[in-house]
Amino acid sequence: MTTTPPPPQAFQKAQPGEVDGGSAPGLTKPKERKLSRAEKRAIAVKGKISSPWASGIALLIAVLWTVPTFGLLVTSFRPAPDIRRTGWWTAFGNPDFTLENYSEVLFGGASFANYVVNTIVITIPAVLIPISLALLAAYAFAWIDFRGRDVLFVAVFALQIVPIQITLIPLLSQYVQWGLAGSYWVVWLSHTIFALPLAVFLLHNFMKDIPPSLVEAARVDGAGHVKIFFQVLLPLLVPAIAAFAIFQFLWVWNDLLVALVFSGGTADVAPLTVRLGELAGQRGETWHLLSSGAFVTIIVPLIVFLALQRYFVRGLLAGSVKG
Amino acid sequence: MDFISNIGAWLEYLTRDLRTWLTDATTPGHKLALMVVAVLLFVVVMGAILFAVDKPKRIPNWVVTAGFLGPVLLFLTFGLVYPGVRTVYASFFNRNGQEFIGIDNYVRAFTQPEFQIVLRNTALWVILVPLLSTLFGLVYAVLVDRTRFERFAKTLMFLPMSISLVGASVIWRFMYEYRALLRDAEGNPTRQQTGLLNQILVWFGQEPQQFLLNSPWNTFFLIVVMVWIQSGFAMTILSAAIKAIPDDIVEAARLDGLTGMKMFRYITVPSIRPALVVVLTTIAMATLKVFDIVRTMTGGNFNTSVVANEFYSQSFRQGNAGLGAALATILFVLVIPLVVYNVRQMRLSEEIR
């Protein structure tokens, strides 16, 4: 995941009844009238760019987007000599598939299994911690009155634009001073820091949408901020939390830069992406390892993504769905 | 006294042990245990802070605020604001940060031929990736809209978004795989291509190409990878925007006889213009910071480097801290206009509301 979700307000115009740009030349507004279902369907069919050409282009794009991954997937199951000798598309003529590559890349010299553990150990806290912190901050920005609130919020919002590159060297020298460089602690800490501005911003937007009357009612009942946060808001925010959790999960699992700089690149801390990058940088044809290694790296996010696609899309569109 | 010094030694021993345990995890069990400890530690600390401020009315407001907001502000100041300022400062110093050299690093970054290639490549990336991704995403979104296979078709284009840039680079390097064409006496190729693209070239009677080696075209083949990833994002956002176009506008256009391409040109595109702007700027920002693809596919060689990659190699390979800092600062400055434009568009669309 390299694309941060766009800020929710940006889609507000894309809501029903609020589109302004639709005034094509020579168009007149039709008189309001109800259409029967059959008429609607007829319109829907007629107006579409539905020609053999259109279907052909759609199919072509779909193939273009699928074939590269598919080719590598097929390759990862082929015996190493075959991979060197022939293209993967010939594998269907005389099928000869094996799991050898996977067992070699996981438990052989490349020891990907070890790096799978590292990636998991890095990812779980690097998702949980920033979300918890951001939830608290978002709550403060949304529901606690204090001086300078707006200024602070804009400042946090603005920090989203800081490219992480600009922070890496000073952070690294600080970590070296602490004697913590190349440990999990600084990887967790860095991922947390880099996630916070976007997390605070997104969760704040979701929090703002909760009816104030709910919070007021709880306050009248004598509940403090902590109680309101845990008992009133948190349960309502589960979908928002899930959406952001998926972003952060994909971001951390797929990250290369932070891991390269802070994990020290050792087998003790470095995640899968670093190992795969190393393997890709080596000379010689190791495609049997690269292909299987790539899929070891890809498979978990792929499953998470497919299983939680709805949440992901909802997060991406956050704001366009809501009022 | 003996007893006390003994305790001191013990404590020292214990803390050293603890420190080692906390920083040098080598076995999987140890690593997982460390992870659990870290999460628990976090929960305990945050719990303590929240517990301390959870006394309604008896505690001043600012203490509560600090409890909720403090950790985040602390982290951001420590991890983003302070290092950012330090880096900008460091960009005016020489390679080991000892000597003030004014804007020499910037002059170098903008005038030396090797860096001009880097800047040219970055410009190509930032212009082409958003445009192409948006184009593919938009066309695809329109084509599969309300078809029977819509969900499945969208998932196909969407999937690369979950793949790491390193993984995607490996996938595409395999597509670009090149092998010199050897021919036997009759001129038939004796060696098969293993990369699909070169095989296609061979099928059409062309010579196979070293896609990643031949400058300047190799940059375009790297850009393909990013387009491949970002199109799914564009498609998702734009598809939602298309679905949100009010039916009456579409119907009106149809009654006026607009179909196919005209409908696309005069109704669809103007209606989703705000979404288009957001998609373009968001992808442009993501593209500026990308270095994984260049690093994995060419290592920045063969004139393919971009600012984000050059920053990495200057800072961590060449040990030129000053120049690395300058490149990071350039990156930061380049992002600003995109953000400003994005925010202004957001403001505008809010005003229209």
Are residues B225 and B151 part of one domain? yes
Are the beta carbons of A46 and B254 separated by less than 8 Å? yes
- Count of Cβ atoms closer than 10 Å to residue A58 Cβ: 19
Q: Nearest-CA residue of chain A relative to B52? A: A226
B183 lies in some domain: no
Same domain, B14 and B162: no
Radius of gyration for the alpha carbons in chain B, expressed in angstroms and rounded: 28
Partner A contacted by B46 (CB < 8 A):
yes
Tell me, yes or no, whether B221 and B293 share the same domain. yes
Whether B37 and B150 share a structural domain: no
Same domain, B256 and B325: yes
Predicted local confidence at residue A209, as pLDDT: 81
- The answer to whether residue A35 sits within a structural domain is no
List CB contacts of B120: < 8 A, sequence separation 6 or more. none
Of chain B residues 105-164, which have a CB less than 8 A from chain A? 136, 139-140, 142-147, 153, 155-164
Instruction: Count CA atoms closer than 13 A to A66's CA, side-chain side.
Output: 11
Both A292 and A152 in one domain: the answer is: yes
Within-domain flag for B94: no
CB atoms closer than 10 angstroms to residue A142: 20
Give domain status of residue B193, yes or no. no
Residues B305 and B231 in one domain: yes
Instruction: Pick from A4-8, A129-133, B213-217 the range whose average pLDDT is largest.
Output: A129-133
**Residue B139 in domain:** yes
Domain annotation covers residue B182 = no
Residue B200 lies in a domain: no
**How confident is the model at residue A50, as a pLDDT?**
56
Name residues whose C-beta falls within 8 Å of residue A28's C-beta, 6 or more positions apart in sequence.
B252, B256
Chain centroid, CA B297 distance in Å: 16
Choosing among A23, A143, A153, A165, which should be mutated to test the B contact, i.e. which has the most B CBs within 10 A?
A165
CA–CA gap between residue B107 and residue B110 (Å, rounded)? 5
**pLDDT per residue over A48-90, tens digit each?**
545 778 888 889 999 999 999 999 999 999 998 888 888 888 8
Distances (CA, A) of A92 to A37, A75, A79, A294, B179: 47, 11, 14, 22, 22
Per the CB < 8 A criterion, the answer to whether B288 and B333 are in contact is: no
The residue that leads in pLDDT, B340 or B124, is B124
Query: What is the chain B residue with the closest CA to A181?
Result: B23
Residues A144 and A57 in one domain: no
Q: Is B230:B126 a contact under the CB 8 Å cutoff?
A: no
Give all strands (DSSP E) within chain A, no chain letters: none
Chain B residue numbers with beta carbons less than 8 Å from the beta carbon of A121 are: 25, 31-32, 34-35
B162-196 pLDDT, tens digit per residue, is 999 999 999 999 999 888 877 777 766 667 888 89
Same domain, A243 and A279: yes
Domain count, chain B: 2
Would an 8 Å CB–CB cutoff place A290 in contact with chain B? Answer: yes
Query: pLDDT (tens digit, 9 = 90+) per residue, B306-329?
Result: 999 999 999 988 888 899 999 999
Does B118 reside within a domain? yes
> Each residue of A209-256: pLDDT tens digit?
888 888 888 888 888 888 888 888 888 888 889 888 988 999 999 999
Does B154 lie in the same domain as B227? yes
Does the pLDDT of residue A40 top 60, yes or no? no
The answer to whether residues A293 and A112 touch, using CB atoms and an 8 Å cutoff, is yes
Mutation target among A19, A75, A143, A185 for the B interface, most CBs of B within 10 A: A19
Measuring CA to CA, how many Å separate A207 from each of A3, A75, A192, A224, B112?
23, 47, 20, 17, 50
If DSSP codes are grouped into helix, strand and coil, which group holds residue A15? Answer: coil
Q: How far apart are CA B5 and CA B12, in angstroms?
A: 10
Over residues A6-20, the mean pLDDT reads: 39
Please tell me whether residues A86 and A206 are part of one structural domain.
no
Q: Are residues B31 and B166 in the same domain?
A: no
Please check whether residues A149 and A236 belong to one and the same domain. yes
pLDDT above 60: residue A28: no
Give DSSP secondary structure letters for B300-334: TTTTT--HHHHHHIIIIIS--HHHHHHHHHHHHHH
Q: What residues make up the domain containing B17?
A: 1-44
Whether the CB-CB separation of A183 and A265 falls below 8 Å is answered with no
* Residue B10, domain member (yes or no): yes
Question: What per-residue confidence (pLDDT) applies to A3?
Answer: 52
Tell me the range of A93-102, A259-268, B324-333 where mean pLDDT is highest.
B324-333
Distance CA A156, CA A197 (A): 6
Same domain flag for B37 and B134: no
CATH number at residue B346: 1.10.3720.10
The reply to whether B17 and B143 lie within a common domain is no
Q: What is the mean pLDDT of residues B266-294?
A: 88
pLDDT grade for A175, boundaries at 50, 70 and 90: very high
Residue A20 in domain: no
Tell me, yes or no, whether A89 and A199 share the same domain: no
- Checking if the pLDDT of A159 tops 80, the result is yes
What's the ipTM?
Answer: 0.88
Neighbours of B274 (CB within 10 A): 23
In one-letter notation, the amino acid at residue A284 is G
Q: How far is A238 from chain B (nearest CA, A)?
A: 19
Domain that holds residue A267: 112-316
- Given CB atoms, is A161 within the 8 Å cutoff of chain B? yes
B204: how many CB neighbours lie within 10 A of its CB? 7
Say yes or no: B193 contacts chain A, CB-CB below 8 A: yes
Q: Give me the mean pLDDT over the A146-164 stretch.
A: 87
Torsion of CA A143, A149, A152, A158, to 10 degrees: 70
Q: From CA B185, how far away is CA B180, in angstroms rounded? A: 16
